[in-house]
Amino acid sequence: MATSIFLMALGLIFRPRLAWAIQTHGDPEGLYAHQLGHIVFLIAMIYVCWQIWRQDLKARPGFTRLFWACILFGAWNILTFIGHIAEEQLDPSAIDRSAGYLWRTLHITDLNGLLYYLAKLDHLILVPAFLLLYLALRAFRRRQVGVPGP
């Protein structure tokens, strides 16, 4: 069993096929389901923040970081939701693909183009959110096993 898993892993590593890291959605149902996922995730983050606030858990180790991680995840959902709408309404001529598939130039000519551009900077919110989530989980684990720390 372990040998077959090892050989399968080697096959995946040394014989990869093209894998463009782009997620596409079929029109329009795929986009609707994706946008609905953003809404559900946003509602979940609001609920977690509300529970932390309501139960006055922010003073306990890790919960302040979890609270702010949820705030950032919620902001990320709002930003990407708006970004998907902006992308759908974006003029196709606003994106210049003449330099190749991996290199694109966005010509910002209106508010919609600016919103699309700003939404593409979502990593500026998402990376700190994951860092805060990691720090919160680490604090929970330390408290669980009795390791002192921040």
Q: Does residue 18 register a pLDDT over 70?
A: no
Asked, for residue 2, whether it belongs to a domain, the answer is no
Tell me the Ramachandran region of residue 90: left when phi exceeds 0, alpha when psi lies from -120 to 50, beta otherwise.
beta
Domain that holds residue 75: 29-145
Q: How far is CA 54 from CA 37, 46, 77, 91, in A?
A: 25, 12, 23, 45
Residues 25-40 have pLDDT tens digits of 667 777 888 899 999 9
Total structural domains within the chain: 1
Asked, for residue 18, whether it belongs to a domain, the answer is no
**Average pLDDT of 4-21?**
70
Question: Taking a C-beta distance cutoff of 8 angstroms, is the pair 49, 63 a contact?
Answer: no
Tell me the whole-structure pTM to 2 decimals: 0.76
Residues 39-75 have pLDDT tens digits of 999 999 999 999 999 999 988 889 999 999 999 999 9
Task: Report the pLDDT value the prediction gives residue 37, as an integer from 0 to 100.
Answer: 94
Asked, for residue 43, whether it belongs to a domain, the answer is yes
